[in-house]
Structures are given as C-alpha cells and as structure tokens.
Amino acid sequence: MSDKKNPETQETPQGCGSTCVRSDVPERVIFTEEMRRTYTILLPTMLPRHFKILSEVFHYYGYKTEPLEIGLHGDSKKVIDAGLKYVHNDACYPALLVIGQFIAALESGKYDTHKVALLLTQTGGGCRASNYIALLRKALTRAGYDYIPVISLNFSGLEQMPGFRITLPMIHRTLYALLYGDLIMMLVNQCRPYETVPGTAEALADRWSSQLAAEMTAGHISYRKVKETYRRIIRDFAAIDGVQARRTAPRVKVGIVGEIFVKFSALGNNALEDFLVSEGAEPVMAGLTDFCLYVVTNAMVDYKLYGTGFWKSRIYRIVDRFFLHKQDDMIAAMKEEPLFTPPSSFRHTRTLTRDYVGLGAKMGEGWLLTAEMLELIESGVNNIICTQPFGCLPNHIVGKGMMKPIKERHPDVNLVAIDYDAGATRINQENRIKLMLANARK
C-alpha cells in the first residue's frame, strides 16, 4: 500500500467494489513518455528569475517547460480568486496561490489544456505542504481539468511518472541555475536601494537571467566558465550608478526569513522587497540553495537521530559536500568585490541553532528558519521580518516560538512576525514593518 515501497501498485485502482468509487478525484493521470514530447509542463513561479533559468535546464533535457507569468504583473487578484474558489480556505496560503496560479493560467485561454501538464514540488516532509499535490488534483477535478497530469518533483521516490525522470546530470545543472539565481537575487537586493536611476538593477538582472537561461542549454557547462560568469555578473552590478553609496551611506538592512513561498514570492508577500526598497531599506535574504542544503542536511540528521536510512545518509553526505563546495566558490567570487556582502556558508549557518532548536526539527522550514535569523544577526542585520502564511504549523515553533530565546540573547534585535493570507490587508502588514523601520532608525 505504501507509495515508497511499491510505486507501481499505486497506479492501479485498489480492489474497490461498485459502491465506493470516488468521484471527487479520478485516478492519478499518468504523464507518459509520449506526453513528454508533446506536452508543455507548467511551472509555478516562486522566484521568477530562478525559474526562468531552471526552465531552460528542463528544456535541455527534453521537457517543454514554461514558468507561469500570470499573477506576477499586477494581476495577482486573478490568482488569489482562483485559489479561493478551488482550494479549501483553511489550507495554507502558499497552496492557495500555487494552485490558484495553475488554475488561473489554465483558464486564461493561453494554453491548450489537453496539451499541458503541471509540475509541483513535493518534499515528502511532515508539513502539510507535501499534500499540495493532492489539493491540486482535487482543485483540477472541481474546475473540470481532471485529465491534466500532475507531476510531482521530489527526491523521496513519491509518485513516479514514466515520462518524467530526474537524472544526476540534471540535478547538477539545476544547481548552477540555483546558484546563478541566488547570486542575482542577492545582488539586486544589494543594489536597488542605492541605484541612481530606479530600475537599473532589475533591468540588469533581467538581462543576465536571459543570458544565463541561454547558457543552460549549451551542450557542456564548464565550471571554470561558471566561476568566470559569477565575476562578470558581480562586476556589472558593481558598476551600476550610485551603488558605491552602499559603502559610504548604507541603508538600514532588513532581513527576510520565513516559510519558503511567502519569503521568496512577491505574489505571496505583497512584494515585500519592493516595499522595503521604497521605504529606503535594504532587503537581505538567503538564497534557495540554503533550502536545498537544509533538505540534504535533514537526510543526514535522520540517520544520526533515528538510525534510519544509512545509505541515503551516505549519498546525501556526498551531495552535501559537493553543494557546499559550489556555494563556497560563489561566495568567494562575491568576496572579491568589497562593495557587496556575501552570504555565510551553509556549513556555518547550520551550526548556529545549537542552543535554540534541534536539527531534528525538520518539518516545513524547520530549524533552517531559526538558523537564518541567527545568521542574519551574526552578519549585523538587526531587523528581521519573519514571514509566514497565517496559521503555518512549523512556524509556530521555529519562527514565533524562537523569537523570545533569540531576543533574550540579542536584546538589540528587532524581530517582527508578519502573517500573509488572502484576507490580510497590505496596510496592516506595512504598518508593522514601518514600525520596525522607525525603531531601527532611532
């Protein structure tokens, strides 16, 4: 019965009598080898630039992927409305947005709905996020799209599809996409508050992400060239007019941590980065690579704590070393330009929670969230916004639950928890951030 042990049996209906056919959700639609060639796979867009580059990695390996644009250009209402309509309102806000984005895209008329598949990540962790995919299927059924295949992107062997396979080289290339995306994201945040002509950094970022996207489809990626590209990107950003002020007249730095989707997605956090920049602050965020390393770390910790998954932990140890090494190179490139602040190595970040929360707390963002707050404080960022969907379960513990112990040891730090939700208004959120900024500038 278990997916893990027996992925094949899952596809056939289990011995079901005539009285108990479930009409609410049909049997899982399979993404076949055939579909791989003809179907467009839609990707939900958490980080537009990252996903643009990532999508090209998929292209290179023969998938026709397309990151969704709907909801990102002042049309977030369409996405939220679709989400509210088809997702249980008590489900968390990211689920509502991700599914809302898919449905809104399907209903936009832009796609031949008989020629698309949807891709969603599934961590397999103990948070309800692992069930987004089930919520998506239910929503599709309700919206009349029950024939659309949904592909789970995961590394836990859940729900395998014949037409979709993740291979090692693919992961390798994905890692570069991630690192590029992170680098650009950090540079944009470090430049935007200072640029003389508003929009310069973003325009540069867009140009680079298009260029990098093209690079992802090159037959061979030379790592030497990747490292060289890091430096070229950094040089370009350092040359933006006005950015020198980052050293001479630094702005208040505001760290953003939180549930992964609302932390990163402008759709989820009402364009928090834009707001901070407009208020004259500099947003600081750790990249998506950290989250991946967090997942990798958890596999190793599981073995240490529970004695389970020996081989898995061994493999992940290799992956861990490899990833960290790549992250080091990116950090090194950033260090060469004194204008910019590089992130901490994850090797260090994960040691920070020791006195706060155990590395066993691995559901949702788990200990990573606490570690990110501590990493920010360590690097001198004393104002931190902890973003979370309203009622986020893991964040009760690793977010709000860790604020008191952190403040006890770092009394000068401003921590503010902001809830995001379809019903929460921007004015309340912004008001609280303004309060934090007023304090920071005292």
Partner 1 sequence: MRDGEKGTELSSWDTLGAVAGAGEAAIGIDIGSTTAKIVVFCDGQLQYSCYERHLSQVRPKTLELLLRVKDMVGDRPVRVAISGSAGLGLAKAAGIPFVQEVFATGETVKRLEPDTSVVIELGGEDAKVIFFKGGMDERMNGTCAGGTGAFIDQMATLLDLSIEEMDALSLKHTRIYPIASRCGVFAKTDIQPLLNQGAAKENIAASIYAAVASQTIAGLAQGRRIQGKVMFLGGPLYYCQGLRAAFKEALNLDDDHALFPEYGRLSVALGAALYATGQSACTDMETLIRGVSAACNEKLETAHTQPLFADEAEYQAFCARHSRASVKVVYPTDYIADCVAAGRDEHGVCDAYLGIDCGSTTTKLVLMGMDGELLYAYYHSNRGNPVGIVQEQLSEIYKLCGNRIRIKGSCVTGYGEDLIRHAFHIDRGLVETMAHFMAAKYFNPHVDFILDIGGQDIKCFKVKDNAIDSIMLNEACSSGCGSFIETFARSMGYEVEDFAKLGLFAKAPVELGTRCTVFMNSSVKQAQKDGASVGDISAGLSRSVVNSAIHKVIRAGSADELGQEIVVQGGTFLNDAILRSFEMEIGREVIRPRIAGLMGAFGAALYARSLGLAQSSTLGPEAVAAFTHTSKAATCHGCGNNCRLTINTFHGGEKYISGNKCEKGAGRKVPEGADVIPDLHRYKREKIEALAESAKDGGRGTVGLPLALGMYELAPLWFTFFTELGFRVIFSGPSSRSLYMKGQYSIPSDTACYPAKIMHGHMEDLVSRGVDAIFYPCLTYNIDEHTGDNHYNCPVVAYYSELLAGNMESLSKTTFLYPYLNINDRKQLTKELYDLMKDQFGGFTRQAVSRAVRAALAAYDTWMADIRREGEAAVRWARERGARIMILAGRPYHIDPEIGHGIDKLATSLGFAVVTEDSIAGLTMDSAAAVPIHVLNQWTYHARLYAAARYAVAHDDVQMVQLVSFGCGIDAITTDEVRAILESGGKLYTQIKIDEITNLGAVNIRLRSLIGALEYAGHEGEYGNSRVETTADSAPTEPTQAGKEVADRV
Residues 272-331 that bind partner 1 (CB under 8 A): 305-308
Cα–Cα distances in angstroms (integers) from residue 55 to residues 224, 335, 337, 412, in the given order: 23, 29, 29, 42
- According to the binding rule CB under 8 A, does residue 169 interact with partner 1? no
In the region spanning residues 198 to 237, those forming contacts with partner 1, defined by CB under 8 A, are none
Q: Could you say whether residue 395 binds partner 1 (CB under 8 A)?
A: yes
Spatial separation of the C-alpha atoms in residues 190 and 202, rounded to whole Å = 11
Report the alpha-carbon distance of residue 14 to residue 411 in Å, rounded: 58
How near is the Cβ of 377 to partner 1 at its closest, in Å? 14
Measure the CA–CA gap between 130 and 155, rounded to whole angstroms. 12
Is 398 near partner 1 (CB under 8 A)?
yes
**Is residue 165 close enough to count as binding partner 1 by CB under 8 A?**
no
> Does 197 sit near partner 1 (CB under 8 A)?
no
Residue 56 buriedness (CB in 10 A; 0-12 / 13-18 / 19+) = buried
**Binding status of residue 137 toward partner 1 by CB under 8 A:** yes
CB of 181 to partner 1, least distance (A): 28
By CB under 8 A, tell whether 131 contacts partner 1. Answer: yes
Of the candidate spans 216-224, 242-250, 361-369, 372-380, the one that interacts with partner 1 by CB under 8 A turns out to be: 361-369
Contact between 393 and partner 1 (CB under 8 A)?
Answer: yes
**Nearer to partner 1 (CB atom), residue 143 or residue 245:** 143
Interface pick for partner 1 out of 195, 264, 356, 374 (rule CB under 8 A)? 356
Question: Mutual orientation of helices 48-60 and 200-216 as an angle, nearest 10°?
Answer: 10
For 10, residues 6+ apart whose C-beta sits below 8 A from its C-beta are 3, 28, 159
| Residues between 77 and 96 that touch partner 1 (CB under 8 A) | 77, 84-86, 88-92
Only one of the segments 128-136, 227-235, 267-275, 340-348 lies at the binding site for partner 1 (rule: CB under 8 A); that segment is 128-136
HEC string for 14-34: CCCCHHHCCCCCCCCCCCCHH
Tokens 């409305």 found at: 81
Tokens coding 249 = 């007249």
SS3 442: coil
How many residues interact with partner 1 (rule CB under 8 A)? Answer: 92
Which of 59, 142, 317, 347 lies at the binding interface for partner 1 (CB under 8 A)? 142
Q: Which residue number, 324 or 422, has a Cβ lying nearer to partner 1?
A: 422
Please check whether residue 306 is in contact with residue 200, taking contact to mean a CB–CB distance below 8 angstroms: no
Residue 168, phi then psi, degrees to nearest 5 = -60, -50
Query: Taking CB under 8 A as the rule, does residue 360 contact partner 1?
Result: yes
Nearer to partner 1, 144 or 250 (CB): 144
Residue 384 engages partner 1 in binding (rule: CB under 8 A): no
Q: Which residues lie closer than 8 Å to 126 by C-beta, 6 or more apart?
A: 362, 363
Please state the closest distance from residue 325 (CB atom) to partner 1, in A.
29
Contacts to partner 1 from residues 403-442, by CB under 8 A: 403-405, 407, 411-412, 417-419, 421-428, 430-432, 434-435, 438-439
271 is an interface residue for partner 1 by CB under 8 A: no
Pairing between β-strand 116-121 and β-strand 40-43 as defined by DSSP bridges = parallel
Q: Is 9 in the site for partner 1 (CB under 8 A)?
A: no
